Structure 1
Amino acid sequence: MMTAAFTALAGVASAQEAPPPTQEPAAEAPAPAPPVEDFSRARRLLERTPLIDGHNDLPWALRQKHGNDPYAVDLTTDLDASTDLHTDIPRLRAGGIGGQFWSVYVPAALTPTEAARETFEQIDTVKRMVAAYPDVFELATTAEDIERIHRSGKIASLMGMEGGYSIDDSLGLLREFYDAGARYMTLTHSKTTTWADSATDAPKWGGLNPFGEQVVREMNRLGMMVDLSHVSEETMLDAMRVSDAPVIFSHSSARGVTDHPRNVPDAVLRMMPEDGGVVMVTFVPGFISEEVRAWSAAQAAEDARLKSLNPGNPTAVTEGMAAWTAAHPIPHAGVADVVAHIQHVREVAGIDHVGLGGDFDGVTALPDGVDGVDAYPRILTALMEAGWSEADIRKLVGENILRVMRAVEATAARKADERPSLAVLAVEGAPE
């Protein structure tokens, strides 16, 4: 400790010291410009080969956010900054989309009768959207349609049903949906149906029950692709056993990379060469990043804990979750995660059995660098930098799903003389 006298002398000496000469601060070096991304090679490739995305929920986003009115929002404008949509025409063009399966999803919480009605309404939404932009979109139902429409410079627009509850346990309704233009049906969504187990609900049938098998057979007869995204592993195995045509996964990733029940197990991936089908890799962060998946599971557990501690007090739950989220920021997925899943499906199932199904406008978050449908050239460029050839990329973006569509169409042609199935659901204890 300094004495008082020493402190005083030090203060005087300090006061008498000449101030240091004023110096101009050194000029800061300009920040380096971000590297310019060159997607030209990918874009040239997509001019020749249609990129066919397996699943886009824009029709549901139009229903939820714009009154089910395609005219309520100008899709010819880049909507990235003005709305929370992932899809518009400028970004579809920038992404090189040549064919798009528009999902005619409706929620699993609806009664089957409500789901059937609203699925027809969603089909009508797609048709009205296509009619609103006739120079951009054209309806397609076959592989040949897609290739013809792509050559014309338009975007081939197809429809896929998401959730077997939409047929209200009626093969007659299934046929009507096919006639209306639906070309795949996801057998379940988030809930187990009266004839098929979901990946994210308690199992009831051990896969497909007998009526579920009849649904698959009738889809084969019609020429409607059997989509196994959202279903349990047992349902996957049953459907692949029963189906006479290749199956698809319209928007699923690899469980061997991220252990989420919505992803495809390696055991099923290894069956794809014999089946002939295709797994269309999706970009949902919780499906492609183990860190995001673990965070989401922890968040759900905390929400359940707070609700059990605060029954009838939603404010306490909301405040508690806000505090938890602030203390546990959500991790981010990125392009590298997307690439890892595409690579894994290729390595396990083979190059002939991988495709793309982004699930744009069906999720609240996307990986960094994959902000909308214009992200495909960035993903394809990353794959080419990892060693993928242009022939590989052509299979990924379109050739594989076109081959599956042709195989499904050929199966229907072989079954043209078969009569429509009259099978009905006859199961005791079916879930309501």
Structure 2
Amino acid sequence: MADLQDELHALPEAGELPDTAQTAPFAPQPPPGDPAGQLERARGLLAAHPVIDGHSGLPWALRDLPWYDLQLGESGVDTDVLRLREGQVGALLWSLHLPERLAGERAVGATLEQLDLVRSVIAAHPEGLRLARSAGQVIDARNCGRVAVVLGPAGAAALDDSLGILRVLHSLGLRALTLAGASWAGEAGLTRFGEEVVREMNRLGVLADLSGASDATIGRALALSRTPVLCTRSAARSLRAHPDNLSDALLAELGAAKGLCLVPSSPERTGPRVQDVADHLDHVRALAGPECVGLSGAHDPGAGPDAAPGYPHLVAELLGRGWPETDVALLTWGNMQRVLRSADFAARAARERRKPSTVRITELDTTDD
């Protein structure tokens, strides 16, 4: 595929509109009943503010394929560079989640194997993919015509209750960790060791993913974290009663903490239609605010068609519902950029006042926890 570098212009900082949009009025809105005009308008907006997709299960799907080519198109999986560009996806988080049966050393080993696989995949597709460790590197990758890949979230089991392993995973590129499923983040909330994990994540710049966590864990993490948290695959529980979805009260708390709810294009969590996903986005935006809502694709590989090619149609639906272009730009690009940038800034400040934590779970949590 031809390099797109010469076709792209520099992108603005998170949440800002490009210079041309700041000095000229927005494109006129097509008249009602003109879906083709709305889709053209959506594609124009996505050209300046592409989607940062908050959850892709691609790494786990690739592990069993003997050969693949994501650059030219790959029928063995639901995601490849062609489909990402068709959907105007500029960056995505690659999930490192594992089957629930894996724990302890097996989980650590499987996560390291996935990290090795992901780095090999990116190295094998230099024309289409680029590893990004920060908000600035996401912008650099996009400006060079590449899709930025941010590593994570990984599951909490990958830590094996060790803060040292957390630091090693971060050094290999991990930028998000799901708290659900850990002994130190259960139905009663974070234990003392769980709180120490969140503090160390803040020091490193690893984002906390709270999707699937208990309401008590979500509430405590929101109060404790000095970095905005993510919910990488959560929608509105009041519209669809999936356990990963958030109650209206939690959505309001998330908005107050300037966290980010990444609404998935998932039949189980939001419904099978574009209009269903838009309903959830409307609801989250109304309760948490336009600065606290984003997008994520299908959670599990093989669970359904990849969301990427449908993003222009989803944005066209939102524009047709009256979403301002500024709010759409935040949804697709600006909000996730803000969270990544906040994590970088908070980590630099935390490392100046806090040394790496060496505490062990046995020092803080009793066997009764």
**TM-score between both structures, scaled by the size of structure 1:** 0.74
Distance 2:36 2:336 in 1: 32
Distance 1:99 1:372 in 2: 13
- Counterpart of 2:6? none
Distance 2:179 2:307 in 1: 27
Distance 1:356 1:113 in 2: 33
Residue among 235, 239, 242 paired with 2:221: 239
Q: C-alpha root-mean-square deviation of aligned residues, in Å?
A: 1.8
> Do 1:360 and 1:372's aligned partners in 2 also have CA atoms closer than 8 Å?
no
Distance 2:220 2:99 in 1: 24
- Counterpart of 1:8? none
Please list every run of 5 or more consecutive structure 1 residues that lacks an aligned counterpart in the other structure: 1-34, 198-202, 290-332
1:164 deviation in Å? Answer: 0.6
> Could you list the per-position Cα deviations for residues 104-159 of structure 1 after superposition, in whole angstroms to 9, with x for gaps in the alignment?
12222112211111111111111111111101111101111111211111111110
Q: Helix, strand or coil: the match of 2:171? A: helix
Q: How does 1:116-265 map to 2 (within 5 A)?
A: 116-188=108-180, 192-197=181-186, 203=187, 206-265=188-247
Q: How does 1:267-346 map to 2 (within 5 A)?
A: 267-289=249-271, 333-346=272-285
Between the aligned residues of both structures, percent identity stands at: 38
> Could you list the per-position Cα deviations for residues 174-196 of structure 1 after superposition, in whole angstroms to 9, with x for gaps in the alignment?
001111001111112xxx32211
Structure 2 CA distance for partners of 1:93 and 1:361, relative to 1, 3 Å = farther
> Do 2:233 and 2:299's aligned partners in 1 also have CA atoms closer than 8 Å?
no
> Do 2:87 and 2:312's aligned partners in 1 also have CA atoms closer than 8 Å?
yes
- Counterpart of 2:325? 390
**Partner amino acid, structure 2, of 1:40:** E
Q: Helix, strand or coil: the match of 1:270? A: helix
Q: How does 1:72-151 map to 2 (within 5 A)?
A: 72-79=67-74, 82-83=75-76, 85-151=77-143
Q: Helix, strand or coil: the match of 1:416? A: helix
Task: Report which of the two structures shows the higher radius of gyration computed on alpha carbons.
Answer: 1
**Partner amino acid, structure 2, of 1:414:** A
Q: Helix, strand or coil: the match of 1:263? A: coil
> Do 2:178 and 2:211's aligned partners in 1 also have CA atoms closer than 8 Å?
yes
> Do 1:86 and 1:360's aligned partners in 2 also have CA atoms closer than 8 Å?
no
**Partner amino acid, structure 2, of 1:269:** L
Q: Helix, strand or coil: the match of 1:404? A: helix
> Do 2:104 and 2:157's aligned partners in 1 also have CA atoms closer than 8 Å?
yes
1:414 aligns with 2:353: no
Structure 2 CA distance for partners of 1:51 and 1:100, relative to 1, 3 Å = same
> Do 1:50 and 1:147's aligned partners in 2 also have CA atoms closer than 8 Å?
no
1:273 deviation in Å? Answer: 3.0
1:377 aligns with 2:369: no
Distance 1:136 1:344 in 2: 34
- Counterpart of 1:47? 47
Distance 2:280 2:143 in 1: 30
Distance 1:374 1:411 in 2: 34
Residue among 342, 348, 360 paired with 1:424: 360
Q: Helix, strand or coil: the match of 2:304? A: coil
1:362 deviation in Å? Answer: 3.0
> Do 1:139 and 1:157's aligned partners in 2 also have CA atoms closer than 8 Å?
yes
Residue among 323, 333, 348 paired with 2:287: 348
**Partner amino acid, structure 1, of 2:48:** R
- Counterpart of 2:16? none
> Could you list the per-position Cα deviations for residues 160-214 of structure 1 after superposition, in whole angstroms to 9, with x for gaps in the alignment?
13321110000000001111001111112xxx322112xxxxx3xx011111110
**Partner amino acid, structure 1, of 2:231:** F
Distance 2:350 2:124 in 1: 36
Distance 1:142 1:110 in 2: 29
> Could you list the per-position Cα deviations for residues 12-41 of structure 1 after superposition, in whole angstroms to 9, with x for gaps in the alignment?
xxxxxxxxxxxxxxxxxxxxxxx8686322
1:102 deviation in Å? Answer: 0.8
Distance 1:111 1:252 in 2: 24
1:47 deviation in Å? Answer: 1.9
State the structure with bigger RCO (CA 8 A, min sep 6), 1 or 2. Answer: 2
Distance 1:163 1:180 in 2: 15
> Do 2:153 and 2:174's aligned partners in 1 also have CA atoms closer than 8 Å?
yes
Distance 1:261 1:395 in 2: 26
Distance 2:41 2:279 in 1: 21
1:259 deviation in Å? Answer: 1.6
> Do 1:54 and 1:250's aligned partners in 2 also have CA atoms closer than 8 Å?
yes
Distance 1:384 1:143 in 2: 26
> Do 1:87 and 1:360's aligned partners in 2 also have CA atoms closer than 8 Å?
no
Distance 2:311 2:185 in 1: 33
